[in-house]
Amino acid sequence: APPPAEESPPPPVAAPDPAVLEMLRRFDLAWEYGPCTGITRLQRWERAQALGLSPPSSIRDALLEHQDNP
């Protein structure tokens, strides 16, 4: 039998722009969108949207763009 193929490591995840990180930090600290424990940022954004709290769409865009980066 041929030897098992070596798996290549996943490509490195690019760090988001510092401005994006600051925007996400401000979202994390904004109590107006409800508690943030036990859910992801995207789940929190979606919950706030469903409750009519109008979270910034730029937050959702950034989360979707960098969804592979915890």
Tens digits of residue pLDDT in 40-51: 999 999 999 999
Joined together, the tokens standing for residue 62 give 């950034």
The answer to whether residues 45 and 59 touch, using CB atoms and an 8 Å cutoff, is yes
Position with higher pLDDT, 9 vs 30: 30
Amino acid, res. 7 = E
Q: pTM for the full model?
A: 0.75
Per-residue DSSP letters for 5-68?
Answer: PPPPPPPPPPPPPHHHHHHHHHHHH-GGG---TTS-HHHHHHHHHHTT----HHHHHHHHHTTT
Mean pLDDT, residues 11-24: 82
Give the pLDDT of residue 68: 84
Residue 25: pLDDT band by 50, 70, 90 thresholds?
A: very high
Domain limits, the chain: 18-66
